[in-house]
Amino acid sequence: MRAAGEWPGGGTGPPFSALPEENVEDLYDNAPCGYLSTSLDGTIAKINATLLRWLGYERDALVGRRSFSDLLTVGGRIYYETHFAPLLQMQGELGGVALELKTADGTRLPVLLTSAVKTGADGRPHSIRTMVFDAHDRRAYEQELLRAREEAELERDRVQRLARTLQQTLLPPALPEVPGMEVAAYYHPASLDQVGGDFYDLFPLSGNTWGFFLGDVSGKGENAAVVTSLIRYTLRGAAVYDPDPASVLAHLNTVLYQAHQGEYPRFCTVIYGNLRLDGAGAVMTVAGGGHTPALVLRADGTSSLLHLRGGQLVGALEEARFVVDEIRLEPGDAILLYTDGLTEARTGADRWYSEEDLRDDLSGLVPATAAVVIDAVNRLLESLGDGVEDDTALLAMSVPSQDGAGT
Amino acid sequence: MSDDAFSMSLRPVAAGVVLGLKGDVDTHTAPGVLAGIRGLVLREGELLVLDVSGMRFCDSSGISAFIAARNHAAAARADVVLVGVPRQTLRVLGMIGLDALFTFRPNLDDALSARDANSAGGA
């Protein structure tokens, strides 16, 4: 602590004594900011040389002749009269207000104003003193910030477009037409700039048989996207080689397990199935690799979950077990495959939307065509809103009812 | 960052080692957990106890950690016990067909005393 009266340099007087003598009048006139005094009605009473120089006016042109608001732009004048003046009157002082002044040659001077009401000996206000700071630098800085922000937004848009494009390459552009069936799919990204790890596909095998799958890769972002690509091509390739659903998943398991040995483990849950048209309906042979159970909607409005319990997730274990079941769809029946973005949506602090909730919410849906089912789930997703934290992929297949309602 | 909410502890016990995970096991913290698990030296017949009773949040990264623990222990012919797995995580493990791979215990005492009983019975 420095003792009172002791100043830097060892002197005992105030530091001003070290400066050349200051002329107060010169300090006022040539200060690095503008000074302006006006009467209460705004008429300019006194103005310093700095401000005159900035504005390009002679002293006589302003003092006693013009009011402060004459120096403002039209917008500035409105702001001054509706905000600045009333606030100043109420508070007695006001600082840091950004306005533009008009100079003699018509150019604009961005400034920051600080004003105080000066009261006389009788305690009544008799004038307003205003300090004017040149805000060119600040304006330039603000414009620079604005430009940087616009650039950042453009860049973000670009990245989001790229992510969407990549995501679209990971999903089939459009489902093929399957004669005698209706199919529909939907992909709901949880966020625009994340490439998700949900995938699905439907493709012809031989004769009247089709392969389909839907699944979910662990993790997110570009690493998940790489695995998603690998999975899609492996599944399609494996199905051509040996279309038995359990063999297709075993093949995928081997590929994934070997591809990521020793690294960060990558695995997926997936349902793979073959669809064979059979008479008026269709027969599906479905293998489950640890995925959420498919939902089966019958023509009479009843619904049930197709549990493939014991089927293990794919890619995590050297030898994984898959569970296979067969299901027949009659006219008016539908099946829905979905990822757990839907069934892991939060519906409360410690509550999640479950497969059973989905089954109950979709029962009574008649006719349950593929498009109607996807629509119904979309409405559910909307109602869950922010609770949906993960991507959601949907694939629905239905056999049209024969009473003509589906045509 | 979730790192603040996460901590990992390692404690040797007679039967083997207890790896404790507290807080959020997610994309940010999982690589550290995986590295921690792979660095463990386990001998045949030893026990790796993964104590997650202090775990608040577990996504698929947490499941990765369980699988890594299981695979690491299996390679050394050691056993894995999961302690204090939250209900929601148990549900997910059941869904993905991995519940049969693990032994679950409600708390650490149970995990270690059950082991002692087994060892005593086996001796």
Cβ of B31 and A264 within 8 Å? yes
B88 vs A contacts (CB less than 8 Å): 350, 352
Question: Which chain B residues contact residue A289 at CB under 8 A?
Answer: 97
Task: Look at A312 and B64 and tell me if their CB atoms are within 8 Å.
Answer: no
State what percent of residues in chain B have pLDDT above 90.
27
* B77 compared with A191, residue with greater pLDDT: B77
The interface predicted TM-score (ipTM) is: 0.81
Report whether A42 contacts A84 (CB < 8 A): no
Q: Would you call B67 and A321 a contact, using CB atoms and an 8 Å cutoff?
A: no
Number of domains in chain B: 1
Per-residue pLDDT reduced to its tens digit, B26-47: 878 888 888 889 889 899 999 9
Report the residue of B26, B88, B95, B101 to disrupt the A interface, i.e. the one with the largest count of A CBs within 10 Å: B95
Kindly give the pairing relationship between strand A198-204 and strand A268-278. unpaired
Asked whether the beta carbons of residue B64 and residue A269 sit closer than 8 angstroms, the reply is no
Min Cα distance A307 → chain B (Å) is: 9
Which position has the higher pLDDT, B123 or B46? B46
Query: Is A352–B88 a contact, with Cβ atoms under 8 angstroms apart?
Result: yes
Whether residue A305 lies within 8 A of chain B, CB to CB, comes out as no
pLDDT in tens, A169-188: 666 667 889 999 999 998 87
pLDDT of residue B83 exceeding 90: yes
Chain A touched by B53 (CB under 8 Å): no
- Residue corresponding to tokens 């695979």: B71
CB contact under 8 A, A352 and B100: no
- Taking CA–CA distances from A351, the nearest residue in chain B reads B88
Which letter does DSSP use for residue A82 in this model? Answer: I
A42 burial type by CB count under 10 A (0-12 exposed, 13-18 middle, 19+ buried) = middle
Identify the residue among A227, A258, A263, A264 best suited for mutation to test binding to B, counting B beta carbons within 10 A and taking the highest.
Answer: A264
B27 is a domain residue: yes
Q: Any chain A CB within 8 A of the CB of B88?
A: yes
Are residues A269 and B27, on separate chains, in Cβ contact within 8 Å? Answer: no
Residue B25 belongs to what domain range?
Answer: 2-117
3-state helix, strand, coil in chain A (%, to 5): 35, 30, 35
Per residue in A94-105, pLDDT (tens digit) is 888 888 899 999
Helix count (H) and strand count (E) of chain B? 4, 5
Q: A59-68, A173-182, B56-65 — which one is most confidently predicted on average? A: A59-68
Contact between residue B20 and residue B51 where contact means Cβ atoms under 8 Å apart: yes
Q: What CA–CA distance (Å, rounded) separates B74 from B86?
A: 24
DSSP letter for A253, please: H
Under 8 Å between Cβ of B80 and B70: yes
Quote the pLDDT of residue B49: 93
The chain A residue lying nearest B26, using CA atoms, is A219
Average pLDDT over residues B67-95: 90
Residue B123 lies in a domain: no
Give long-range contacts, CB 8 A cutoff, 24+ apart: A222-229.
Answer: A222/A195, A223/A264, A223/A266, A224/A195, A224/A196, A224/A197, A224/A266, A225/A166, A225/A167, A225/A170, A225/A195, A225/A197, A227/A197, A227/A256, A227/A260, A227/A266, A227/A268, A228/A170, A228/A197, A228/A198, A228/A199, A229/A170
Q: Which residue has the higher pLDDT, A143 or A284?
A: A284
- pLDDT exceeds cutoff 90 at A131: yes
Q: Rounded mean pLDDT of chain A?
A: 85
Looking at the structure, give the CATH architecture of the domain made up of residues A171-398.
4-Layer Sandwich (3.60)
- Nearest CA to A381 among A406, A350, A357, A400? A357
Residues in B touching A265 (Cβ below 8 Å): 34, 64, 67-68
- Strand intervals (E) in A135-267: 182-188, 198-204, 209-217
Residue A14 has pLDDT above 50, yes or no: yes
Asked if A264 and B95 come within 8 Å (Cβ–Cβ), the reply is no
Does the residue B122 lie in any domain? no
By the CB < 8 Å criterion, does A264 face chain B? yes
pLDDT at A340 over 90: no
Instruction: Give the Cα separation of A53 and A233 in Å (integer).
Output: 74
Q: Is B20 a member of any domain?
A: yes
pLDDT for position A388:
63
DSSP state of A198: E
**Cα separation, A271 vs A294, whole angstroms:** 8
Asked if the structure places residue B53 within a domain, the reply is yes
Q: Which of A219, A265, A269 sits opposite B67 (nearest CB)?
A: A265
Instruction: Give the residue from A222, A338, A333 showing the smallest Cα distance to A284.
Output: A333
Please check whether residue B34 touches A, CB under 8 A.
Answer: yes
**How much is the pLDDT for A407?**
42
CATH number at residue B29: 3.30.750.24
B9 part of a folded domain: yes
Contact A179, A277 (CB under 8 A): yes
Domain boundaries, chain A: 8-134, 139-170, 171-398
CB atoms within 10 A of CB A47: 24
Q: What would the pLDDT profile of A369-379 be if each residue is shown by its tens digit?
A: 999 999 999 88
Q: Do the chains contact at A310 and B27, CB–CB below 8 Å?
A: no
Residue B28 domain flag: yes
A218, A292, A311 member nearest B60 (Cβ): A218
CA-based nearest residue to B13, from B31, B53, B52, B40: B40
Q: What is the pLDDT of residues B7-18, one digit of tens each?
A: 888 888 888 999
* Residue B24 in domain: yes
Q: pLDDT tens across A46-55, in order?
A: 999 999 999 9
In chain B, whose CA is at the least distance from the CA of A343? B92
Looking at domain A8-134, which of 2.60.40.10, 3.40.350.10, 3.40.50.10110, 3.30.450.20 is its CATH number? 3.30.450.20
Query: Smallest Cα–Cα separation from B43: which of B79, B13, B18, B78?
Result: B78
d(CA B90, CA A13): 79
